[in-house]
Structure formats: C-alpha cells, structure tokens
C-alpha cells in the first residue's frame, strides 16, 4: 500500500478510537473536522520517506509516528487560529475549528489531539517497545518546551523576540522531529538526519513568507498579508521577493545535499525536489520560469 494511504489509515484509526463511546458527539465531530480532509500531509510523508530511504519501505512504526506528528501539526493549527493568537476564521479554504465549533471546543480539540498523538505512538510501538521511549522523547522535543512549536509560538508573547529561535522552534522543529522519527522508527541514529529536517523547515518558512506576501488567499487556503498586518517577521519584508526566492532555492539545495548516505538517498532527493516546486506561489513560479 502507498505511504499516503497508510498514513490516512493511521489517522482514521486514531480518530475512530478517540471518538468511540462515551465521547461527547460534538468533540468527535470537531476533531474529525480538524484532521480531514488534510493538507499535503508533508510532515508524515517525510517521516515515512526517511524510513524508506533507510531501507524499510513498509514500516508500521514510521506510519504511526508520521500520523502522530500530523495530529500534533493539526493541534497547532487549531490553537494558532484561536482568537487570542491569529484570530483566523479561515483555514484550508474553509471555516477554522473555532469559527465553526466555538472557542471552548477548539481549545479541547487541540488538547485532545496532543494526547492522541502520544497514544498513536504507543499503538504503533506495541511490537517493538524499544522504540517508544526514543520516539516520545524526539516528538515531545519537537512540539513542547524548550524548543518545539509551543515554545516557538510563545516567542510571540515575549517583549523581545529572538527571530532565529522563533522560526526554528515554530516551524523547523516539527520538520526535524518528522525526519528524526523516520530514522528512529527503523532503528537508525537520528542525529545525522537532523540537518535535512532543519533545511526543509527553513524552506517551508521561506515558502510561508512568500505565500503570505505574494500568494492568493485561494492558493494558500488562508488569508494572506497576515505577517504584514500583524507586524511579524517575514523574509520578504527583509530580503524582498527576489531575495527570498533566491534563499528558498539555496535552502532546498542545502536540504538535498544534507541527506545522509543511505540506500534510498537518490529517491528521497528526487521526492524533496519535486515537493519543493509547490513551495512557490504560482504567480512567482511563472515569472521565475
């Protein structure tokens, strides 16, 4: 079975188990809405691709670790959209969770998804207990304190923001976690894989900045010009569109160069380069062509 389909099955299993009796019906509906239909599932695809590049093309642990990371990514989107943060009414081209289900359920959906992510890891590791501890540690580091996405979001509450740490924690950490989890899932040392995750995280941050400054709301699935309007750091404001595009290209190059020697390295390289074409707003892709 293709990796994308396996990830969706893991996500469906997690939601079905979480939504079974006696779950309050609206919470179950809101959790389902937060996860399906998903975006590109970039992070879990990365986890599974790294596991595959290491030589294990059908790792159930990698599938579950990828699904756990996607649940955490969805949790962070739901909480980031809350009125006290971005106050975003639109996400993935439709109403955000709090806009549709109200703020209390949106807070609880995020909380429940964080819990369910760790439960999904546990389910994935039932036949290989040695991997659960390292995976919990890796993924907790990617989402929690001191340098995960929660810490990244918290930089916005500081009187003085550390922009490097902010981006590294808010966007980069979960990519590093996704890559490292793929290596751990198949018994490889995750350390040599971390630079790949860091570069991919930087590329996605640059892409996000480019879409915010030069993309359309339709293409992004969310309002644009949010960084400008909220005075948040943005690479386009700093380097201009051409400068940000140049940096994006360099960063994708750095990412593929950072792939460690491994069985499926060439395939992973092609996959990352193919995905990178989606990182540029279509308007800019045309003008760059």
* Site for a second copy, rule CB under 8 A: 17-28, 31, 75, 79, 82, 84-85, 101-105, 107-108, 110-112, 114-116, 118-119, 121-123, 125-126, 129-130, 132-133, 136-137, 140-141, 143-148, 150-151, 153-158, 162, 165, 169
Residues 6+ away with beta carbon under 8 Å from 86: 80, 226, 230
Do residues 149 and 76 touch, judged by C-beta distance below 8 A?
A: yes
Residues 6+ away with beta carbon under 8 Å from 22: none
Q: Which is nearer to a second copy, 165 or 220 (CB)?
A: 165
DSSP 269: H
Shortest Cβ 270–a second copy spacing (Å): 34
Q: Which is nearer to a second copy, 25 or 37 (CB)?
A: 25
Q: Which is nearer to a second copy, 26 or 194 (CB)?
A: 26
Q: Could you tell me how far CA 201 lies from the centroid of its own chain? A: 9
Shortest Cβ 287–a second copy spacing (Å): 37
Q: Which is nearer to a second copy, 121 or 183 (CB)?
A: 121
Q: Which is nearer to a second copy, 220 or 226 (CB)?
A: 226
Shortest Cβ 71–a second copy spacing (Å): 11
177 Ramachandran zone, left/alpha/beta (phi>0; psi -120 to 50): alpha
Q: Which is nearer to a second copy, 154 or 241 (CB)?
A: 154
Residues 6+ away with beta carbon under 8 Å from 167: 152, 201, 202, 205, 233
Q: Which is nearer to a second copy, 147 or 223 (CB)?
A: 147
Shortest Cβ 248–a second copy spacing (Å): 25
What backbone torsions phi and psi does residue 166 show, to the nearest 5 degrees?
Answer: -55, -55
Shortest Cβ 77–a second copy spacing (Å): 13
Q: Which is nearer to a second copy, 147 or 253 (CB)?
A: 147
Shortest Cβ 189–a second copy spacing (Å): 18
Do residues 41 and 5 touch, judged by C-beta distance below 8 A?
A: no
**Cα atoms in the 13 Å half-sphere on the side-chain side of 267:** 13
Q: Where are the alpha helices (DSSP H) in the chain?
A: 3-18, 25-35, 42-53, 60-80, 97-101, 103-124, 132-143, 149-154, 163-167, 173-185, 194-214, 217-220, 226-230, 235-257, 265-276, 282-288
Shortest Cβ 59–a second copy spacing (Å): 17
Residues 6+ away with beta carbon under 8 Å from 14: 67, 71, 116, 119, 120, 123
Shortest Cβ 1–a second copy spacing (Å): 25
Which three-class secondary structure state does DSSP give residue 38? Answer: coil
């Amino acid at each position: 079975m293709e990796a994308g389909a396996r990830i969706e099955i893991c996500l469906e299993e997690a939601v079905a188990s979480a939504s079974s009796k006696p779950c309050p019906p609206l919470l179950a509906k809101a959790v389902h809405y937060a996860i399906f239909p998903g975006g590109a599932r970039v992070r879990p695809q990365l986890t599974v691709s790294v596991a595959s590049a290491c030589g294990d093309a059908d790792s159930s642990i990698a599938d579950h670790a990828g699904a756990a990371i996607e649940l955490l990514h969805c949790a962070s989107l739901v909480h980031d959209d809350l009125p006290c943060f971005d106050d975003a009414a639109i996400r993935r081209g439709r109403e955000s969770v709090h806009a549709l289900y109200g703020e209390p359920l949106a807070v609880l959906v995020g909380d429940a998804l964080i819990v369910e992510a760790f439960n999904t890891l546990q389910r994935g590791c039932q036949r290989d207990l040695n991997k659960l501890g390292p995976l919990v540690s890796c993924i907790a580091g990617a989402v929690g304190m001191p340098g995960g996405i929660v810490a990244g979001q918290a930089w916005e509450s500081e009187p003085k923001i550390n922009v490097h740490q902010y981006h590294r924690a808010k966007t980069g950490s979960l990519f590093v976690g996704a890559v490292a989890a793929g290596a751990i899932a198949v018994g490889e040392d995750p350390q040599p894989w971390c630079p790949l995750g860091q570069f991919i995280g930087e590329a996605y941050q640059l892409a996000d900045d480019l879409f915010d400054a030069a993309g359309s709301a339709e293409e992004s699935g969310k309002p644009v010009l949010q960084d400008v309007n909220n005075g948040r750091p943005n690479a386009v404001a700093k380097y201009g569109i051409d400068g940000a595009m140049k940096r994006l290209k360099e960063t994708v190059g750095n990412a593929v160069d950072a792939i460690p020697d491994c069985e499926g390295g060439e395939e992973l390289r092609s996959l990352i380069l193919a995905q990178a074409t989606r990182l540029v707003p279509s308007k800019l892709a045309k003008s760059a062509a």
